[in-house]
Chain A
Amino acid sequence: MIAEVPNVTLPRLFQISRAVKETHDTFTFELKPLDGGEFTFKPGQFNMVYQFGVGEIPVSISGDPLKKTSIIHTIRAVGGVTKAMRKLKKGDVLGIRGPYGTDWPVLRASGHDVAIVAGGIGLAPLRPVIYHVLANREKYGKVILLYGSRTPLDILFMKEIEKWRARLDTEVAVTVDRASGAWRGNVGVVTTLISKAHFDPAKTMAMVCGPEIMMRFTVQEFITRGVLKDKIYMSMERNMKCAVGFCGHCQWGSNFICKDGPVFRYDTIHDLLMQREM
């Protein structure tokens, strides 16, 4: 007989149990499954998030991989779907498919210094790495977080960053591209922080997420410092409709970002990164 094939386009329903405004354009949802089950993922993976009648978009998971009873998504309102989602409140329901995609090399990084560089909303997909590394602190050497955002008002997870910064076993630096008023922190692009960070390039695992240009400049700084190309990872973004390799939208050279990515090892994508309009 003909085997039944599950319909991979069907979402699982989750209810918003907490909605937090992070910045003027970014918000975080905590989502609990209506079926009461669990949800597990690896740092760096993403879900397809569906809002009734509006649309479905890829969103990285920004929560703690140890918490299996809920999902955390941090979303920046930029267009049709994300702006509609911003209006949702506690109690509203979203459809979730996932988790999909490759993960950050948290296991491979064991025994290494971990240098995390995030730009803008790019901190969201890296936050699970920070949770993981801090929960397994003894497995890692120095732990460094360098975070750049546009202005002080755009900084995500400020309270949490302060907590990480207060720890003696982490090095945390935040910088903004431009500032005025009361901002007492760094001003300058995030790449300028790399040359000053205290890690041993020979045994550093670098993880980078942010706008593509920011990632390219960041990787150059790491290479200048002597970090090996096969120990630099970055998370890529392309238009994505299905996340299961059928829609073709997220193709990047031979890669499907949805299954071969979004997290890539730099040396495997170097040539593609240098090509325009790929």
Chain B
Amino acid sequence: MENLESVLKEHAFLSDFPDELLPVIVGCASNVRYDTEQFIFHESEEAKKVYLIRAGKVAVEIFVPGRGHVVIETLEAGDVLGWSWLVPPYYWHFDARVVEPTRAIALDGECLRKKCEENHEMGYQLLKRFFTVLSSRLQATRLQLMDVYGAKADW
């Protein structure tokens, strides 16, 4: 357990997380490992976990019949994969496919939600970090939407 705590502490997402709250998270954490081309989750499955990626590369993608899989973004060490565990009714909206062998800490969504309800300080600290991630993803998505390198940029 102690080992997992230090791994968590090292992850960019939790780097300045209050020390006293870390053990609470450790209670929801497990160490996971995936091989290339493995799916971590599929669209429309129940979103049970969130992954703090430690190494490797994961493609978040969607399968379009006739076009094959379209990658929305790739995530790497230091990134967080998944926030559907936060939003009822907790289903994934995308596929997560492993592009390079990946190691991650998986945090159980139901466990985290329970801990957050019990301990609002912990809930606030966690949500604050998720909000930062969400906001930068939103920024990136906006830029992506504008298709800035496109042949005819129309904004």
Decide if A and B are genuine partners: yes
Interface SS of chain A: helix, strand, loop or mixed? mixed
Interface string of A210-228 (1 = CB under 8 A from B): 1101100100000000000
| A192 CB-CB contact with B under 8 Å | yes
Q: Which residues of A contact B144 (CB under 8 A)?
A: 177-178, 188-189
Say if the beta carbon of A180 comes within 8 Å of chain B: yes
Is residue B127 contacting chain A, with contact meaning CB distance below 8 A? no
Q: CB distance A188 to B74 under 8 Å?
A: yes
B149 lies within 8 A of A150 (CB): yes
Interface size on A, residues (CB 8 A): 31
Known: A189-B140, A213-B155. A180 touches B71 (CB 8 A): yes
Residue A149 is within 8 A (CB to CB) of chain B in the complex: yes
Given A179-B70, A196-B78, decide whether A188 and B148 contact each other with a Cβ distance below 8 A.
Answer: no
B151–A25 touching, CB < 8 Å: yes
Q: Which residue of A lies closest to B62 (CB)?
A: A180
Whether A211 touches B73, Cβ cut-off 8 Å, given contacts A191-B139, A191-B143, is no
A187 touches B59 (CB 8 A): yes
How many residues on the B side are at the interface (Cβ–Cβ under 8 A)? 27
CB contacts under 8 Å to A, within B74-129, are: 74, 76, 78, 99-100
Give chain A nearest CB distance to B43 CB in angstroms: 16
Task: Determine whether the beta carbon of A191 is less than 8 Å from that of B147.
Answer: no
Write out the residue numbers on chain B whose beta carbons fall within 8 Å of the beta carbon of A25: 151
Asked if A189 and B143 make an inter-chain contact with CB atoms under 8 angstroms apart, the answer reads yes
A178, A189, A192, A214: the one within 8 Å of B70 (CB)? A178
B139 touches A217 (CB 8 A): yes
| Nearest-CB residue, chain B, relative to A214 | B148
Smallest CB gap from A179: residue in B: B71
A78 located at the interface, meaning its Cβ lies under 8 Å from any Cβ of chain B in the complex: yes
Which B residue sits closest to A152, measured CB to CB? B71
B1 CB-CB contact with A under 8 Å? no
> Which of B70, B71, B72, B78 has the most chain A CB within a 10 Å cutoff?
B71
- B3: interface (CB < 8 Å): no
Verify B155–A188 contact, CB threshold 8 A.
Answer: no
Which A residues are in CB contact (< 8 Å) with B150?
150
Please give the distance in Å from B37's CB to the nearest CB on chain A. Answer: 11
A-contacting residues of B (Cβ < 8 Å)? 57, 59, 67-74, 76, 78, 99-100, 136, 139-140, 143-144, 146-151, 153, 155
Q: Lowest 3 A-B CB distances belong to which pairs?
A: A120-B149, A211-B148, A150-B149
